[in-house]
Structure 1
Amino acid sequence: MSGPTPGARIVLATGNQGKLAEFRDLLAAQPQLAHLDLQAAVIDAKSAGLGEVAETGVTFEQNSLLKAREAARRTGLPAVADDSGLAVDVLGGAPGIFSARWAGRHASDENNRQLLLEQLADIGDEHRSAAFVCVASLVIPDDEGAPSAEHTAQGRMEGTLLTEERGGAGFGYDPILQPSGETRSAAQLSMSEKNALSHRGEAFSALAERIVEALT
């Protein structure tokens, strides 16, 4: 196992700083964790010295668990991971687990969004329904780094795909998805507004009690 970073209490198995900020914001709302310095207690994959984990699963749940198990094994810390993506109805649920590399393995978020917008350019509003889907996993290791407990939770944020990008906040496909009941894109919401609606916020919130137990 790698030695944990001093002060670290839990690792979020991602290099995505947007996800890390959302996760810390969620934990900051838990009164039992008010005593924790979340900047120090919650570290990401890079701070934990973790490399990329091959996402060999064929579902969000499988990939989420793969990442959380490896982070827990390597660090000896409770580990949280998620696998999430955009499911477009007219594409049969794609990009799905391939969302982060829809335009190629090393594509940027902007590349992925632009390719998807081009592919759906002739699709009318009535057929542009889509949803962000997330499965989050918490793995608590034993003294040898093997999983002693595992928990998963799923979240969805239903919406409609826009025809052009709106907003500069968020990341991934946020600028092109308008959540149901909203007039703004996900990239135009504040972090607290997004966490209250989002697929990731829903999944992480469903795990919040277990995460609090692991940290207290």
Structure 2
Amino acid sequence: MKRSSAALSPLAWACLSSSLAISPLAHAEPTKFTVDDEHFSMAFEIMHIGYAPVMGLFREVEGQFVYDEETRELSLGELVFKSDSVFTNHTKRDEHLRKDDFLHSGKFPEITFTITAFETTGENTGTVTGDLSMLGQTHPVELDVTLNKAAVYPIGHEDYTLGITATTSLKRSTWGMTYGLDPALVGDEVSLKFGFEANKDSGWF
């Protein structure tokens, strides 16, 4: 097992450090990757009055990270979500989610996940630890990550690309989001699943 940590400057969760699981390549070195916002999904699920889960997503995100395929060391990385891009396929509910009962998008336009450490758990899996900043509070979160594929993209940009899946769950009350907990109208536990592609990029430093 290898554990690595670093101080990170803000800018993509979670998820991104699942690239820690990549197979080593000869003469590899730290490589910069940018999350492809056209191939990114972050879905959340939360229970509604105990009847059924409500599912939604955030439609606007950006992220970058640096990863060394040979040493499996992640040196920095971050995901940033636009909180007003929340979407649950219900206009009035989405408007409510943007207000101060929930995401308070007018005051807190961004939700940020900054990687602080990772640990490999298998040939293409690992655990990412990071700080999630939301509603003016920051708390640690762990994600289970899987590297699905690492190869030159077969169409379009033809960049070297990582395909990643990550999952986690958290309690929204940890960040002070307590609306609907008493009485139990909206669940506290939120399940999150990320799926995205990240392209090799030498131009963002």
Higher relative contact order (CA 8 A, sep 6+): 2
Q: Same fold (TM over 0.5)?
A: no
Please state which structure has a larger fraction of its residues in helix: 1
TM-score, reference length from structure 1: 0.29
TM-score, reference length from structure 2: 0.30
